[in-house]
Structure 1
Amino acid sequence: MSSFAKMYQSNLNAALFGLSLDRRSGLPLHAQLTQALREMLRADPAAAGERLPPSRALAEELSVSRMTVTTAYDQLIAEGYLSTRPGGGTYVAEDLPHLAPPAPRDAPHSEPHAAQTWLPFQPGLPDQALFPHRLWARHLERAWRNPDPALLDRPDPFGWPSLRQAIRDHLAAWRGLDCATEQVVITGGAWDGFDLIARAALPPGALMATEDPGWATMGHVLAASGITERPVRIDAEGLDPADLPPETRAVTITPSRHFPTGIAMPLTRRLALLDWARERDALIVEDDYDSEFRYRGQPLPALAGLDGLQRVIYMGSFSKLLSPALRIGYLVLPERLMTPMRDAIATTGSRVSMVPQPALASFMASGEFATHLRRMRRHYAKRQRHLLSELAGLEDYLQLQPDPSGMHLCAGLGPALAPLGDRAISERAKAEGLTLRALSSHARLPDPPQGLLFGYAAFDERALSTAADTLRTLLKEL
């Protein structure tokens, strides 16, 4: 026997003699020994062919009866782990390696999804650093420390009643919209809202006209909801009802502040749109996504208020007002749609978590929500002024004007940039660490308008100044 073989045989014997059996265990000693030997041999394929200690010697080392060892050996011989040879002795089976478990492989390593870092001038984002975390935590803890029994019961499919009442009060105070609490439906956001509208208020495949340019995801949202989209190019006053196809059953608009251009639809155009809806027995979906952030004068009256909630469904969201993480929006329905909407929700149940709803209700009812909105309005107005001052002197490149409302500016291209196109400029800006959305990327029709979107709400003055310096250098290079 070679010195290596002798050493290995010695190591095998030492491992065997070092086995520990638990006499207090409910598992018999021979079963414990069998399991221990099996695991040892499977974990070490190099032991193949090696001789095991005689049963008497191993029994003495382990302080067990010889019968315990022979029973374990016999079991492992039957399983193929051990074998006997002429002339005596028990050996590890020669073909043991194939019985060894496969070598452990490193599990695929996936990094946890990192929080996305938003770059200036990403539009449509509130400043999450200014979210009232302590106040929100207090309302959330208060709601669930000793929850209302109704919270633990089957929920109202339209949402938590106190939250619906708080939204009703908010709309009356901020938007001049008079509605009943019963007309308010809590949703999981715009996607959920359009899906509910499709199931409750429109026939399958109904044609809905949309603004072009508009919300870039709108086509996917409507298609998933079974609605046929028809983009209609807006003019300087927004969407013109005279341009709507005769088969249109519904239209979705952003009249208080068109997204993404910022155009406010004048009263004459609003009234014309309401007349069109009455004449065609059609439906209007008013997406009033950030109308609370108006920096000069009073917020424009909601179209639903002018209509008296007859032909208009009002759609709102807390994503821009508080945080996208809440995933809470709402609809205000005409009375004739309340029963169909309740039936539509009954088929799937509400998709909105009840956890944040009572906290949001008390946050609004306390007056702290209104205080937060006024605070954010001051911050955003200041940031818009700061951004305009930082980009002053670039008239040859950008057609930038103050906007009385909103969270971003839409700038046309000046003569120095017009030949390049907004998408090429957007790509160059991306390489410099800026998110400068191209206006044309929000259009589906040919010959889209050209421009760039400057989101300022989510970034403080220092970040805006740094981004403006980077952009100024880039534009002059272009």
Structure 2
Amino acid sequence: MASIDKKSQSNLTQPGFEAALFALTLDRSQPAPLHQQLCDGLRALLLRGGDLAGLPLPPSRSLAAELSVSRMTVTTAYDQLMAEGYLTARRGSGTFVAADLPHLAPAPQNAPPPAPPPAAWQIFQTGLPDQSLFPHRDWARQMDRAWRAPDPALLGRPDPFGWMPLRRAIAAHLGAWRGLDCQGEQVVITGGAWDGVDILARALLPPPAQTGPAQTGPAQIALEDPGWASLHHAVRDTGHIPLPLRIDAEGFDPARIPDRTAAATAAAIVTPSRHYPTGRPMPLARRLALLDWAAAQGTLIVEDDYDSEFRYQGQPLPALAGLDQQGRTIYMGSFSKLLSSALRLGYLVLPEPAIAPVHAYLAQRGARASLAPQPALAGFMDSGEFATHLRRMRRSYARRQVVLLDALAPLARWLDLAPDPSGMHLCVPLRPCLRAHTCDRAIAEAGRAMGLRIGALSAHAVLPDAPEALLLGYSGFDEAELRDGAARLCRLITGLT
């Protein structure tokens, strides 16, 4: 039987169908005659190729030439398939795939229902920007402008810190939006938060082990608990030890970092502007205490400022790095929540003492961040389109939070509902009367069966006796979807109580 390229079997277009036909191969060493092999191969392609009704087949002479067989071999195969009802001939037009192919297996009687559209199964998923607000036309224009006639520097050896115009644009953005006084020379473009943590741990922290008399073990990196679960894996990947510390009402407390342990605490990774995932801001006194700890211990602070642009009430809280006079704080940001996670771009802002060692490390290892979108993003930011996009998203997200809280009002007896002055999701604690019946993980699990992607706060903790709350993302869903999701959550919780 003629062999078929399986990649070309599903939902073929006209060009793909023709390519699959010409890719058929016949084996002259087989006992089956060539016309039979061709007939079997064509039949299999027609049955597995999707909706091919009405597509024309190449003239017998052309297909014969492509397959290096006689024209009679092709016409014999075509005639057999027309007799079976797979093909039809139109006088003066050629041979076409029949409208109703025979021998197609009927749909199973107990087939599962079709998958719901994406929004129906991920309502309340956190961290999703609304892609319908993405300025596709403006972005496409910037990409075209950057690469239609690229700057010669783009085609040369890339700077390990990234495209300098983008680094300068990021510094200007942070000065305007976060009050952070920095220069483009301090900015490093990364492939996202995980890449940023990996760079810092490997370039700035002691290696996990050294041979000789001064042999040392891995360092500890203090983390918030609850916090970003993937951070534990990112730290372990560098050979260091994650040290989770339970937060309180004011966020991360440096007083809880142990003075003496088997491994020294070399860094702390925190979210001071808006703790992830509770949304609690770290007050000024706690921030100053954290900076004092870092200065006294000679350690580093990594400030993960993941969504501070989305603040709806009051003035934005100052960045921790802006308060640091000792050069111990590294600012980390990302474009995944501001534009799209598909960009895979983030950045670090390094204090002066960290620039040389990070540059030496990246010059040897090479950068992971893709260069392709960097000049377009630089143009997007310099043109003012980025700031306009952020303001539009901020207005939209603020309205959506209000809509969600209003729709959840019937659950006020069970959930501690309160507005959040910033962010992309709500962290909603369970009231004691609800905790008497269930827990946040059980609600999240039950929600999946109802098409809800509810987060459980306790699932973000590794320490025992974790706090419980529901994490409800609202940024990626329109108002109708949020009302529908809230109605389903009301039914879910009412049923559990």
Q: TM-score range by the shorter chain?
A: 0.7 to 0.9
**Is 1:297 aligned with 2:311?**
no
Equivalent residue, structure 2, for 1:206: 219
User: Would you say the 8 A contact 2:295–2:326 is kept in 1?
Assistant: no
Q: 5 Å matches for 1:348-363?
A: 348-363=365-380
Which range is displaced more, 226-235 or 415-424?
415-424
Equivalent residue, structure 2, for 1:39: 28
Residues 349, 424 of structure 1: CA spacing in aligned structure 2 closer, same or farther, 3 A cutoff?
A: same
User: Would you say the 8 A contact 1:123–1:407 is kept in 2?
Assistant: yes
Offset, 1:285: 0.2
Which range is displaced more, 337-346 or 311-320?
337-346
**Is 1:467 aligned with 2:485?**
yes
**Is 1:156 aligned with 2:159?**
yes
Equivalent residue, structure 1, for 2:332: 315
Equivalent residue, structure 2, for 1:253: 270
**Quick one: which amino acid aligns to residue 192 of structure 2?**
G
Offset, 1:196: 0.4
User: Would you say the 8 A contact 2:400–2:474 is kept in 1?
Assistant: yes
Count of aligned pairs between the two proteins:
376
**Quick one: which amino acid aligns to residue 367 of structure 2?**
S
**Quick one: which amino acid aligns to residue 411 of structure 2?**
L
Among 247, 252, 255, the alignment partner of 1:239 is 252
SS in structure 2 of the partner of residue 435 of structure 1: coil
Which range is displaced more, 242-251 or 114-123?
114-123
User: Would you say the 8 A contact 2:321–2:330 is kept in 1?
Assistant: yes
Equivalent residue, structure 2, for 1:374: 391
Equivalent residue, structure 2, for 1:194: 197
Task: Work out the CA distance in 1 between the residues paired with 2:365 and 2:171.
Answer: 25
Equivalent residue, structure 1, for 2:91: none
Offset, 1:313: 0.4
Residues 209-263 of structure 1, C-alpha deviations (whole Å, 9 max, x = no match): 0000000111111111222100000000001111012231100000000000000
User: Would you say the 8 A contact 1:309–1:333 is kept in 2?
Assistant: no
**Quick one: which amino acid aligns to residue 143 of structure 2?**
L
SS in structure 1 of the partner of residue 143 of structure 2: helix
User: Would you say the 8 A contact 1:254–1:286 is kept in 2?
Assistant: yes
Equivalent residue, structure 2, for 1:123: 126
Equivalent residue, structure 1, for 2:228: 215
Offset, 1:347: 2.2
> Which runs of structure 1 show a deviation greater than 2 angstroms over 4 or more consecutive aligned residues?
40-45, 114-118
Residues 169, 199 of structure 1: CA spacing in aligned structure 2 closer, same or farther, 3 A cutoff?
A: same
Task: Work out the CA distance in 1 between the residues paired with 2:125 and 2:163.
Answer: 33
Equivalent residue, structure 2, for 1:412: 429
Residues 418, 148 of structure 1: CA spacing in aligned structure 2 closer, same or farther, 3 A cutoff?
A: same
SS in structure 1 of the partner of residue 188 of structure 2: strand
Residues 115, 349 of structure 1: CA spacing in aligned structure 2 closer, same or farther, 3 A cutoff?
A: farther
Residues 363-386 of structure 1, C-alpha deviations (whole Å, 9 max, x = no match): 000001000000000000000000
Residues 307-351 of structure 1, C-alpha deviations (whole Å, 9 max, x = no match): 047100000000000100000000000111111001111222111
Task: Work out the CA distance in 1 between the residues paired with 2:239 and 2:395.
Answer: 41
SS in structure 1 of the partner of residue 245 of structure 2: strand
Equivalent residue, structure 2, for 1:444: 462
Offset, 1:39: 1.1
SS in structure 2 of the partner of residue 221 of structure 1: helix
SS in structure 1 of the partner of residue 434 of structure 2: coil
Residues 170-224 of structure 1, C-alpha deviations (whole Å, 9 max, x = no match): 0000000001211000000011101100111101222100000000111111111
Among 341, 345, 358, the alignment partner of 1:324 is 341
Task: Work out the CA distance in 1 between the residues paired with 2:30 and 2:141.
Answer: 59
Mark the structure with the bigger radius of gyration: 1
Equivalent residue, structure 1, for 2:364: 347
**Is 1:139 aligned with 2:156?**
no
Task: Work out the CA distance in 1 between the residues paired with 2:488 and 2:433.
Answer: 17
Task: Work out the CA distance in 1 between the residues paired with 2:27 and 2:387.
Answer: 70
5+ unaligned residues in a row in structure 2: which ranges? 1-25, 37-115, 209-217
Offset, 1:297: 1.4
SS in structure 2 of the partner of residue 232 of structure 1: strand
Equivalent residue, structure 2, for 1:424: 442
Task: Work out the CA distance in 2 between the residues paired with 1:398 and 1:312.
Answer: 37
Task: Work out the CA distance in 2 between the residues paired with 1:43 and 1:116.
Answer: 48
Task: Work out the CA distance in 2 between the residues paired with 1:115 and 1:327.
Answer: 25
Residues 374-407 of structure 1, C-alpha deviations (whole Å, 9 max, x = no match): 0000000000000001011312211111000000
**Is 1:264 aligned with 2:267?**
no
Residues 393, 346 of structure 1: CA spacing in aligned structure 2 closer, same or farther, 3 A cutoff?
A: same
Task: Work out the CA distance in 1 between the residues paired with 2:239 and 2:118.
Answer: 31
Task: Work out the CA distance in 1 between the residues paired with 2:326 and 2:346.
Answer: 18
User: Would you say the 8 A contact 1:313–1:333 is kept in 2?
Assistant: yes
Equivalent residue, structure 1, for 2:107: none
Among 210, 216, 225, the alignment partner of 2:238 is 225
Task: Work out the CA distance in 2 between the residues paired with 1:341 and 1:181.
Answer: 15
Question: CA RMSD of the aligned region, Å?
Answer: 1.9
Task: Work out the CA distance in 2 between the residues paired with 1:304 and 1:156.
Answer: 25
Equivalent residue, structure 1, for 2:407: 390
User: Would you say the 8 A contact 1:164–1:186 is kept in 2?
Assistant: yes
Q: 5 Å matches for 1:83-98?
A: none
Task: Work out the CA distance in 1 between the residues paired with 2:158 and 2:117.
Answer: 32
**Quick one: which amino acid aligns to residue 217 of structure 1?**
S
Task: Work out the CA distance in 2 between the residues paired with 1:306 and 1:409.
Answer: 28
Task: Work out the CA distance in 1 between the residues paired with 2:447 and 2:241.
Answer: 35
Equivalent residue, structure 2, for 1:335: 352
Task: Work out the CA distance in 1 between the residues paired with 2:411 and 2:431.
Answer: 9
Task: Work out the CA distance in 2 between the residues paired with 1:289 and 1:227.
Answer: 23
SS in structure 2 of the partner of residue 249 of structure 1: strand
Identity across aligned pairs (percent)? 62
SS in structure 2 of the partner of residue 393 of structure 1: helix
Residues 43-99 of structure 1, C-alpha deviations (whole Å, 9 max, x = no match): 359x9xxxxxxxxxxxxxxxxxxxxxxxxxxxxxxxxxxxxxxxxxxxxxxxxxxxx
User: Would you say the 8 A contact 1:396–1:415 is kept in 2?
Assistant: no
Equivalent residue, structure 2, for 1:173: 176
Residues 258, 41 of structure 1: CA spacing in aligned structure 2 closer, same or farther, 3 A cutoff?
A: closer
SS in structure 1 of the partner of residue 477 of structure 2: coil
